[in-house]
Each structure stands twice: as structure tokens, then as C-alpha cells.
Amino acid sequence: MTDAKTRHYLDYNATTPVRPEVIDAVARAMAVIGNSSSVHAEGRAARAIVEEGREKLRTLVNAPVNGVILTGGGTEAIHYALNGTVRTGNVQRIFVSAIEHAAVPANAGEIGVPVETIPATNSGVIDLNWLRDRLKDYDVKRDGGFLVCVMFANNETGVIQPVKEAADIVHDKGGLIFVDAAQAVGKVPVNFVMSGADLMAVTAHKFGGPIGVGALIAGPNLPLHPVMRGGGHESNRRAGTHNVPAIAGLGTACDLAPSSVAKATKIAAMRDRMQAAAEDAGAHVWGASEDRLPGTLSMSAPGFASQTQLMAMDLAGIAISSGSACSSGKTKPSHVLTAMGADEALASCGVRVSLGWNSTNDDVDAFCREWPEAYRRVKTRAAE
């Protein structure tokens, strides 16, 4: 049993530990006096921090000049992408992949336009053949403009999606593509221009930055209806006083992101060691045949309920997360695993283990020791 005083954090996909350099940057920015929209010297100093953070993110993901719209995080960026395009009148239909983060279908369903679901393959990749067939006879002049939502990498399985191929299909029929890159930035190379995305969501806390700051990245001259009004912030695209300290932290996290990407091989090796231990114990691993984020392991253990796994690992000093969502106190099977063909029993046994910039071999050792033993106990009780 792991020492009760020792904790092993294996839930980087939920939020990463904030880097010490980011904490320092946030603290320094908090000491700066001034509203970033004010024209006096103090305001200009605050504005300089904002623009520096914006430029660092723009450089990290190769965003267009003036293409970074700072937001309060990834969910707001998703909300803005969908509402901002529909409310211009240029989008009359939305296609959402079956494995998107829950914020995407939730926002799509509230806008008032038809929403269609793009199925996924059993390996966790969006079905490009379905998308191609569905759009084969689509005519934007007759059927209206459309937006396709495809994430860069899945938040549960880590499976990297064929964004560029999807973008080519979409653009060939005159549509737009929105890419949720929240899980990918800072873990694998992300290039907005090369991806073919028209819109992209990013959030700082997934790669060592602070919670509560992110961005919607938009292509040049893309019309977007501002969904938050007030002052003229963000070139009249998103009202609200800038969170200067958080944006400073975002910028510093962007500075450090390449060092995390450079550790991808090492992180993947640690992930693979945990995967081998889990498979040896009888777990089913999701998306293993596809390219995945280096630190993401999604698996189901038949007969070992998700919440039971979480509690058992927490008691052993290990933080992991469930692949399922909770609503009104009822645990629902993961919609991602269900879209990949899992039945309710297997989807209800799914968990996600995720590593990142500060993970250690000790963390991996703890999982490889504790999780198989916990599963062995469950199977032994079931056999009695």
C-alpha cells in the first residue's frame, strides 16, 4: 500500500499542476496596477502583459495575426465558436462528432439550428467516410452554410483525430471546421494554419497554466458575432476586463510548452508501462491501435465499476478520473466509449489515467502496483 502521506497525481487531462514559473508570472502580474484598457502608463503596462501573452500563444500554435481572442477558458471558447458563427447567419447546420467534449454538443443543441452527429469508429476516430458521404450532395446555396466540430485529440482516449483530412472534406463543400484543441496544446505539436481549422479552442490549465483563461483562435476575416457585449475589448469581439495575471500565466505556460512536447517519448513510455500492467491484469484499453496523446490511457476493467476504481485508487494515494459523467447523482456510461461500440457494462467500467510534464516513474510504479492488486481483489470477491 502506498504511504498515506504520498500522493500520485495521474489526472493531467482534467487539469495539470501549474508550473512554478507560471505561479511566479501570475504573482508578478498581480502586483501590476492598472486596467489593460486604460490609456495611462499603468493601463499601458497591464496592456503590454496582455499582448505579450497573446503573442506567445499565437506563436506557439502558429495562429494568424489578430487571430487570438482571449477568453475565460475552453468552454467559453467553444460557446463563442458555435454561437458566434451561427449568429452571423452564415451557419445553418452543425455537425458534431460523437466523441466531442460534452460542451460541444451541449452548446450546439441550444443555438436553434439542426445538429447532426458524426459517428466514430471502434478505434476512436471520427468516421471520415460517413462525413464524406453525408456532404457528397450538400450545396451551401441550397442547404445553408454549415460548421463541423472535430476535436484535435480526445479528452478520454487521447486518440488524435484526422483534423486536416476532415478540414479538406469540409472546405471542399464550402463549410467551416471548428477544432477543440484543449487537450492537445502543450502535449503534441499543434499548428493552427497547417491543421486547416477555421476556429480552434485552447485553454491554459491543460498545459501547466492557470485555470480560467484560454482563447478562441479564428482564421483571417472570419465573421464572428460577439456573444459577450459591453466594452470594446478584444477588438469588439469579446467584452470584459482582461484577467491580466491569468493571461501572464498563459504566456509563460506557452513559453514552457515546447519542453513538455519534447518529453513526449518519455511520457509515452511511462504510459505504455501502465498500459501493460493494466492489460496483464485483464483490462481493455481503448484507442490503443491509433496515435494517441503520449500521456493518456483509457481503459475498462470488466466487473470493476468506474467509481469503485476511483475510490480504490484514491485510498491508495493515486488520483485518476472516470470516463463517465455524473448528472443529478446518477453515473452515466461514457458517451465516448459508447460511441466506440462499448456496451453499457463495459462503458460503466471505464477510467482515464493521464500523465504530463511533472509525472515521475514513482507515479507509474504506484499505479502498476496498486491498480492490478485492486482489480485482483475485485475478481477474487466475485468468484467467491
Residues designated as active site: 326
Q: What's the rounded Cα separation, in Å, for the pair 284 and 267? A: 21
Q: If you ran DSSP here, which 8-state letter would residue 202 be given?
A: E
Name the residue type at position 106: A
Helix (H) and strand (E) counts in the chain: 15, 15
> CA dist 325 to 124, 145, 307, Å?
18, 32, 11
Q: What's the rounded Cα separation, in Å, for the pair 290 and 159? A: 6
Grid cell 514513482 is found at 362
Q: What's the rounded Cα separation, in Å, for the pair 334 and 52? A: 39
Nearest Cα neighbor of 244 from 235, 233, 255 is 233
Answer for the pair 74, 182: CB distance below 8 angstroms, yes or no.
Answer: yes
Contacts for 137 with CB less than 8 Å, ≥ 6 apart: none
In degrees rounded to 5, what are phi and psi of residue 115? Answer: -125, 130
Instruction: Please report which helix (H) or strand (E) contains residue 216, including its range.
Output: strand 214-218
